[in-house]
Each structure stands twice: as C-alpha cells, then as structure tokens.
Structure 1
Amino acid sequence: MKNLSAQNISFTDFNLIGFYSLGEWRPLLFIPFFLMFLLSITANSTIIYLIICQKSLHSPMYVLIGLMAVVDLISPIFFVPNMLLSFLFNWSWISLTGCLIQMFCIYYVGAFQSTLLFWMALDRYFAICKPLYYHKYMEISNFLKFIIVPVIRNGLLNIIMVSLAGKLSFCLTNVIDHCFCEHMALVQLACGDTSINNIVGLLSVFLIPTADFILITASYAVIFVSVFRSGKANMKAINTCITHIIVMTCSLIFALIAFMSYRIQNNFSTSSRVFVSTMYLLFPSCFNPIVYGMRTKEIRKRFLQFIKEVKVFPLQRNRFKKKKINNIIC
C-alpha cells in the first residue's frame, strides 16, 4: 500500500493477522483448529442425516435439534477455511465488502443460534409444564407467533450494525489483528467518531444473546419448579435442562468477554482476545451435537443403530461377492 495521507484515503482491503505474535509457531495452530472444524462438520452432518432419515425423529424437539445442527454446520464455514489458509499460506487479505458480508453472516447465524436455544426452552416448557397442550402450542401456525419477533430483531440489529460499519472511513491502518472480521476489530481502525458503532454493537449483544439468555433461564426456572412439585418423574428433564444451561452459559461468557475486551481497559493480550472470539463461535459448533444429540436418548439409539449398520454392510457385501463367485464356479 502506498503511504497516502489519512485525509485522502480510506482502505478498501484488509489484512487479517490473528495470532501473528506467535511467529513461527503460528502455522501449528492449523492442527487444533482443523480438528475442531472436522469434528463440527462430521458431528453436525451426522445429526442432520439421522433426523432427516428417521421418521421417528420428526417431532418438534428433534426438528429444533436438527436446525441447531444446521446452524452449527454453517457457522464455522464463514471463517474457519480462511483462517486455516492464513495459518498455512498467509492468505489473509479480504476486501471491505467481503469483510462486511462475513461479519453479517457470522453475527446473523450466531444470533439465530441464540434464538434456537430460546425455541428449545419453549419446547421443553410446553412439553413439561403444559403437556396436554403441547401439540397445540407446537403447531407451526402457533409456534410462528413465538419466533417472528426474535427473527426480525436479529435481522434488523445486524443489518444496522454492519451498515454503520460500512459507512466508516478506514484511514488508520488496514491491518486487522484478528482471524475474521469481528465488528469492533474493524471499527477501531476507523478515523472519526465511532461512538454510534460502539452503542449499536453493545445493544446487539444485550438485546440478542443476553436477552435470550434471560428468557431461557426464566423458562427453565419455571420448568424446575414444576418438576420439583411433581416429584422425581421428570428428573431426566432436569438433567437435560441443566446441560443446556451449562453450554449456553459457557458460550455467552465467551461472547461477552470477546465483546467487552474492546470496550474496557484490561490486560488481555491480542492473541488471548482472538482466541476467545474464535471459541465463542467454534466451541458451540463442536459440542452442541454432543449435548443436544448424543445425550438425547432417541438420537443416541438411532446413532448406535446407524454405526452397526455401517459395520455390518461391508461384511454382507463380501459374503454376497463370495456367494456370487461360488455360483459362477459351480
């Protein structure tokens, strides 16, 4: 890049240099992140395949788990391949348009993941607290009433946040010390007043994941009270809800640390900040299939059945070939 004055230039291409401080050790990061990406793709694809192929898994709860697997499958694709190429070959340049598109996709899919957790909490609430009306409330026409507002909220907030970022002039530098286009990592490169961008970014955090977390916690609190009043018959439901809350809490903590690390004074190193930001996106994609898939009895049963079929099929095929050869010889 030519050394032009900040008054005459606004950068339109950016260099993503996340974990650059690791120096010659940086390429080794390819291994753990590739393994996590592979785990995410494999586990979520398996969950989706099982739910699509097994008619017994077409109830609302399993459909929601399937949608969560779709979101977890898509989310890493927006940034992990570029990140891996950057680790190996230093292919780290991205245009402003590409950066804004990547930002919108990452945040919108992440917001949809938060909303799905809220829908799951609603499903558990109706199943445990309103069992006689479960099918009535979970009909598509009725269920849409609960989801239309969060979907509109997610879209509007993310469009506003990305649009405001796109209107800035980036004259300080074109180096983003991150592995993907995070909102504040890009905004802090801008010259001029960015207070509106900071406010909108904070509103997005507190009106989407934090608000969903509060609503989910409230619904689970009602579920716990209902279960304890009814005795031990639904202790399995309690176990499932607690697991959901633990994973959701871990994801929210990662997200809040990543967002707030740009806005308050702290001793976070740049690499630590990038690591936390990456984990709040990649961690759920790797472990949600285990929590919402393998810990669900019916899905676990179908998965084990699928594994047996995969093992048995080659043996049956070999027997068929041997039998065919023997028939030809005879």
Structure 2
Amino acid sequence: MAALNLTPSDPSTFILTGIPGLESAHIWISICFFTFYIISLLGNFTVLFVVYKEQTLHKPMYLLICMLALVDIGMSTSVVPKALCIFWLNLKGITVGGCLTQMFFLYVVCDMQSAILVIMAFDRYIAICNPLRYAAILTNPRIAKLGLVVLIRAVLFILPLPMLLSRQPFCTNRIIPHTYCNYMAVVKISCGDTTVNRMYGLVIAFVITGLDLTLIALSYGLIIRAVFRISSKTAHQKAFNTCTAHISVILMFYTAFLFTFLTHHFGHGFAPQVHIIFANLYFLIPSMLNPIIYGVKTKELHDKMGKYTRRR
C-alpha cells in the first residue's frame, strides 16, 4: 500500500505509469502479457530440460539453443513481473537503484541475445562449409568460452548506461511513462544535460547491431556461396533447411529491435502508447516464439521434445 502513496517528487523513487492513455485497458493488456510470459517460460524451460536430459543433444548447436533459452527467460522476466505489478496491484513505484538495475540486466540480456545469434550463424557456417572439421572447431568447452565472452562483452558495453544515468539530476518530474525502466524514457525526465547519454545510447545501439548484423550477413553470404557450388538440389534443400530456424529467429529479433528503436528515437508521429506496447512486445514475442521455432524446425530436438510430451 505504501506504493500507492508515493509522490512523483519523492527523491528516491521513480513512478512507472504503465501505458498512459490506456489505463482502462490495462487489465486486458496484462492478460495478454501474462499469457505470453507463461508460454515463454514453459517453452524455454522445456528446451532446457530436454537438452539437459538427453545426452545425444549435448552438442554445440543445442548448447547455443540453451543459451538463447536462458537469455529469453531473463529478457521476459526483466520486464513482465514489474508490468503486472503495475497493471494488477497499482505498484508503480520503483527506487532509482532498482530502476537502474532493471535497465542494466534488461539491456545486458538483449546484447547477449544478439551475440548468441552471431555465434549461431558461425555454427551454421562451419556445419555447412567445413563439416569435416566441425567437431574439432566447435567443441563444447569452446562454446562455453564463447558464452563467457558474450557475457563480458554485454557487461562492458551496457554498464556505462546506468552509470551515466546515475550521475544525472532528476528534478520534480520523476514520472516515467512506461511499464519498465526504458533507457530513453529515463533520459527524457532528467533535468540535466543528457547529450552524452543520448549519444552513447545511439552509438552502442548502432555499433552492436551493425557489427552483429555484418557478421551474420558475412556468415550467410559464405554459406550461400558454398551451397550454390554444390550441384545436387537435394543437398541445397538440406543445407538451407538446417538454417531455417536460425534465419527465422534472426529476422524476428532484429526486425522487432529496429522497429522499436527507430520509432522510439525518430518516430515522433507515433502515439506514445504504440511505442510502449511495441517496446514490451519486443521482449515478449521473440522469447515466446524462439523455443517454438527451434522445437518445430530442428528435427532432433523436435523428436526428443515429442518423446517427453507423449510420455506426459
């Protein structure tokens, strides 16, 4: 109940409003968010459980899928519980430290997902272009080391975001018109000079996205060149089938990211409600669909998941 009595001028607290202008629809929106979140958790934990239980799936490709599942769980969990607290319990208050912590973990897992998709593209490149050396190049210990590199990269790139914001002054307006501590939404309520904050946010977004998309495009360019050197149409089909799930996940993740990022920074003609809803769906939809895509498109994983489903 204390959260209900918080005032926007409380120096230790921000107020998350939810989705301004759609307060009457909060309960219906929350049902959608909750449903997507539960499906996401069930799907990703199922993938983790099946890969853990099946020794035949203890391979680099499936370890990468598990990394993606863990990141998806972290991504949706960073956003949905607080949003549901706002929608259902009217608990809109969040401490400054809590806000910066949420922001840090949220963008770390986003960065990690992008990097994991790059490693997956490299995995498909080795599997198709150099299959005889696949087992020697991509070993399980090497995948674990790459996972550590992904984490370190994310922390180093993202840590300055909350650190820079922690130095900003926040005056009487401490209301964040959002369901979570979105970086730009917090920057906009600062009453200080936010030029450095805005520039760093833009640079990081473009550097990370540009670098990762370039590496993915390079991998698939080499894959396409290698595939078209094969005369057999059956081999063409088989090679492209192994990439279908990964390509679907890439398109979904980066399309959602670019749309959310560009509309938030440059789409001033969009209503604020559109920004906020799409910003939430960006964290929910990929997390919900990724395990479904890999469960359907990856035959070995599909068969193992089917075995446990039938058993239940």
Paired residues of 2:59 and 2:140 also in contact (CA < 8 A): no
C-alpha offsets along residues 98-120 of structure 1, whole Å, 9 cap, x if unaligned? Answer: 00000000000111111111111
Within the alignment, does 1:185 sit opposite 2:182 as a pair?
A: no
Paired residues of 1:65 and 1:293 also in contact (CA < 8 A): no
**RMSD (CA atoms):** 2.1
CA distance in 2, matches of 1:255, 1:12: 31
Structure 1 counterpart of 2:132: 132
Structure 2 counterpart of 1:93: 93
Structure 2 counterpart of 1:299: 301
Paired residues of 2:109 and 2:154 also in contact (CA < 8 A): no
Structure 2 counterpart of 1:282: 284
Counterpart residue type for residue 122 of structure 2: L
Paired residues of 2:16 and 2:178 also in contact (CA < 8 A): yes
Within the alignment, does 1:216 sit opposite 2:216 as a pair?
A: yes
CA distance in 1, matches of 2:8, 2:175: 14
3-state SS of paired residue (1:227): helix
3-state SS of paired residue (2:266): coil
CA distance in 1, matches of 2:302, 2:143: 27
CA distance in 2, matches of 1:157, 1:131: 34
- Distance change >3 Å, CA 201–CA 3, structure 1 → 2: closer
Give how far 1:217 is off.
1.7
Indicate the structure whose relative CO is greater, using CA pairs within 8 Å and at least 6 residues apart: 2
Give how far 1:212 is off.
1.0
Paired residues of 2:60 and 2:140 also in contact (CA < 8 A): no
Give how far 1:248 is off.
1.8
CA distance in 1, matches of 2:210, 2:252: 12
Task: Report % sequence identity.
Answer: 34
3-state SS of paired residue (1:181): coil
CA distance in 1, matches of 2:8, 2:36: 40
Structure 1, unaligned stretches of length 5 or more? 5-9, 311-330
Counterpart residue type for residue 93 of structure 1: G
Structure 1 counterpart of 2:254: 252
Within the alignment, does 1:308 sit opposite 2:299 as a pair?
A: no
Paired residues of 2:116 and 2:150 also in contact (CA < 8 A): no
3-state SS of paired residue (1:94): strand
CA distance in 2, matches of 1:141, 1:39: 31
How does the TM-score come out when normalised to structure 2?
0.91
3-state SS of paired residue (2:270): coil
How does the TM-score come out when normalised to structure 1?
0.86
Paired residues of 2:8 and 2:14 also in contact (CA < 8 A): no
Structure 1 counterpart of 2:270: 268
CA distance in 1, matches of 2:107, 2:150: 14
Between 1:203-212 and 1:53-62, the stretch displaced more is 203-212
Counterpart residue type for residue 72 of structure 2: D
CA distance in 1, matches of 2:200, 2:144: 27
- Distance change >3 Å, CA 146–CA 63, structure 1 → 2: closer
- Distance change >3 Å, CA 169–CA 300, structure 1 → 2: same
Give how far 1:295 is off.
1.3
CA distance in 1, matches of 2:111, 2:8: 39
Counterpart residue type for residue 240 of structure 2: I
CA distance in 1, matches of 2:213, 2:141: 25
Structure 2 counterpart of 1:120: 120
Paired residues of 1:210 and 1:252 also in contact (CA < 8 A): no
Count, aligned residues: 305
1:1-330, aligned counterparts within 5 Å?
Answer: 11-140=11-140, 150-171=150-171, 173-230=173-230, 231-232=232-233, 233-264=235-266, 266-310=268-312
Give how far 1:236 is off.
3.1
CA distance in 2, matches of 1:267, 1:127: 45
Give how far 1:143 is off.
5.1
Give how far 1:133 is off.
1.1
3-state SS of paired residue (1:190): coil
- Distance change >3 Å, CA 70–CA 142, structure 1 → 2: closer
Give how far 1:78 is off.
1.5
Paired residues of 1:247 and 1:284 also in contact (CA < 8 A): yes
The structure that has the greater radius of gyration is 1
Structure 1 counterpart of 2:3: none
- Distance change >3 Å, CA 30–CA 114, structure 1 → 2: same
3-state SS of paired residue (1:14): strand
